[in-house]
Amino acid sequence: MLTIIKILFGTVTWSATFRLSTPIILTSVGGSFSKQTGTFCIAFECFMLSAAFFAAWGSYLSGNPYIGALLAIVAGVILAAVFGVFVLHFNANPMIVSIALNFGSWAMTTLLLTKVFKVRGFFHSPKIVNFQSIDIPILRTIPYIHKILNNQIILVYIAYISIFIGAIIMYKTPFGLRLRGIGINQVGAQTSGVNILKYKWIALIIMGVMSGLGGAYMPLSGLSMFSENMTAGRGFLAFAAILVGKGNPLKAAFIGILFAYTNAITLTLTSFGVPTQLLQMMPFVVVILVLIISSLKNFSKNPTINNQ
């Protein structure tokens, strides 16, 4: 019993939750913006994976994780821009562009791994300098909480702050109002003098920056490593969080935290000899469960499918 409580509420689990949720939160908060403008995108694997590579590379070259993160953001923005050009200007199907980008970025980063670091599979080096954990004096004194919140790296704090900043921008500013307007009625927004393309692009850039940061978290949070296909589905988890959260950063982040919490519990469970594959599977199972729960109200015995 005690062990169960420890697993569910222990500081280790929650501290891990905060860490593990960071890349998903960052990406899903950013992705919420483009979701609100009605842009469909599942290329988060691409943005995050490429960003992760460039974060590792930047940090490796400069010895400074901030340079790495900056490079990651640039990569995220450039790829989001590629997506934008194809989808917004060339009328390409966003799903197929996303798939091609996801696949292409896996090939590209794996190729770069062999070209830049001359290795296959993964590259680990102390020269990839991590972000240092931050000791916040106020937090130090609070029992329980300090073990969870204190001594995390800066990206964790940025992620959690971004949830609220994102929500405020979305619901309290003219920019957010217009953004949501575009998603609800594009022609209507246009007749209200809103420059649709401009707003869609700004949303895309926000998405690129945030997924860039999300990607940067992975190599620079203590692993000092980049490995092939490092994101391992986190981009898709972020996509699920955005979808369930319907573009609301608060809801999306909540779902992201739920995924991370599952992940954190399973990490603790590994030491009990539970097969790793089942544990790795859990966050994805949770996604399906969350989807079902959030759609229970739709259940009907005489169902009719509509266009979605």
Partner 1 sequence: MDKEKFVLEMHNINKKFKNLLANDNITFKVRSGTVHALIGENGAGKSTLMNILTNIQSPDSGQVYLRGEQVNFKNPLDAVRHGIGMVYQEFMVFPEMTVLDNIIMGFEQKKGIFIDYKESRRKVEEICKKYEFNISIDAKVDGLPVAALQQVEIIKVLYRNADIIILDEPTSVLTPQGVESLFHAIRFLVDQGKTIILITHKLKEVLEIADDITVLKNGRVTGTLLAKDTNELELARLMVGREVILQVEKPEYNIGEIILKIENLSVKDSSRVERVKNASFHVQAGEILGISGVAGSGQTELVEALVGLSNGNIEGQILFNGENIINETVAKRRKLGIGYIAQDRSAVGTNKEGTIWENAIMGYHRTKGFKTKHLLDYKDINSFTNKIIKDYAVKVQATEDKVKTLSGGNIQKLLVGREFLQEQKLLIIEDPTRGIDIGSVEFIWNRIIQMAKEGVAVLLISHELNEVMQLSDRILVMYNGSIIEHKNSRSLTEEQIGLMMLGGEIHEA
Partner 2 sequence: MKLKISHEVKKTILRYGISIILTLLFGSILIAIQGESPLEAVGHIFEGAFGNRINIGNTIRWIISSLMVGGAAIVAFKSGVSNLGIEGQLYMGALSAAIIGYSIELPHGLHVMACLLAASILGMLYALIPALLRVYFKINELITTLILNFIAKYLTEYITMWIIMGGQQSANGSASITTPQILNTARLSTIIKGTTANTGIFIALGILFFIAFIYKYTLEGYEFTQIGQNMSFARMGGVNINKSFIMVFLMSGLISGMGGGIEVTGSYYRFMPNFSNNLGWDGIMITRVANNNPLAVIIVSIIWGALKQGALHMERMTTLNRLVVIIIQMLFVLFVSIDYDNLFSRWKEKIRLKKTNSKGGSSIC
Site for partner 2 in 46-65 (CB under 8 A): none
DSSP 216-267: HHHHHTTT-EEETTTTTTHHHHHHHHHHHHTT-HHHHHHHHHHHHHHHHHHH
Long-range Cβ contact pairs of 103-108 (< 8 A, separation 24 or more): 104/46, 105/45, 105/46, 105/47, 105/49, 105/50, 105/79, 106/45, 106/49, 106/228, 106/229, 108/50
Asked if 185 is part of the footprint of partner 1 (rule: CB under 8 A), the reply reads yes
The helix or strand, by DSSP H or E, that contains position 122, with its residue range, turns out to be strand 122-124
Q: CB-wise, 191 or 306, nearer to partner 2?
A: 306
Work out the angle between the directed axes of helices 196-220 and 65-84 (0-180°, nearest 10): 140
Which stretch, 66-74, 174-182, 209-217, 232-240, contacts partner 1 (CB under 8 A)? 174-182
Query: Which is nearer to partner 1, 190 or 229 (by Cβ)?
Result: 190
Does 305 bind partner 2 (CB under 8 A)? Our answer is yes
Note whether 301 binds partner 1 by CB under 8 A: no
Q: What tokens does 78 get?
A: 């450039």
Burial readout 123-158 (b: 16 or more C-beta within 10 A, e: otherwise)? beeeebbbbeeeeeeebeeeeeebebbbbbbebbeb
Stretch that binds partner 1, among 35-43, 184-192, 230-238, 281-289 (CB under 8 A): 184-192
- Give min distance, CB of 230 to partner 2, in A: 15
Give the x-and-dash track for 205-234 against partner 2 (CB under 8 A). ----------------------------x-
Judged by beta carbon distances under 5 to 8 A according to partner kind, the member of partner 2, partner 1, none in contact with residue 239 is partner 2
Among 16, 42, 148, 194, interactor with partner 1 by CB under 8 A: 194
* Residues in region 84-113 near partner 2 by CB under 8 A: 86, 89-93, 95-97, 99-104, 106-108, 110-111
- Answer yes or no: are the C-beta atoms of 184 and 247 closer than 8 Å: no
| Amino acid letter, 92 | A
Residue 200: burial class (beta carbons within 10 Å; 0-12, 13-18, 19+): buried
Residue (125 or 190) nearer to partner 1, CB: 190
63 binds partner 1 (CB under 8 A): no
Please give the residue ranges that form the binding site for partner 1 (CB under 8 A): 172-175, 177-178, 180-181, 184-185, 187-195, 300, 304
Q: Which residues are near partner 2 by CB under 8 A?
A: 42, 86, 89-93, 95-97, 99-104, 106-108, 110-111, 114-115, 233, 236, 239-240, 243, 275, 277-278, 280-281, 284-285, 287-288, 291-292, 295-296, 298-300, 303-308
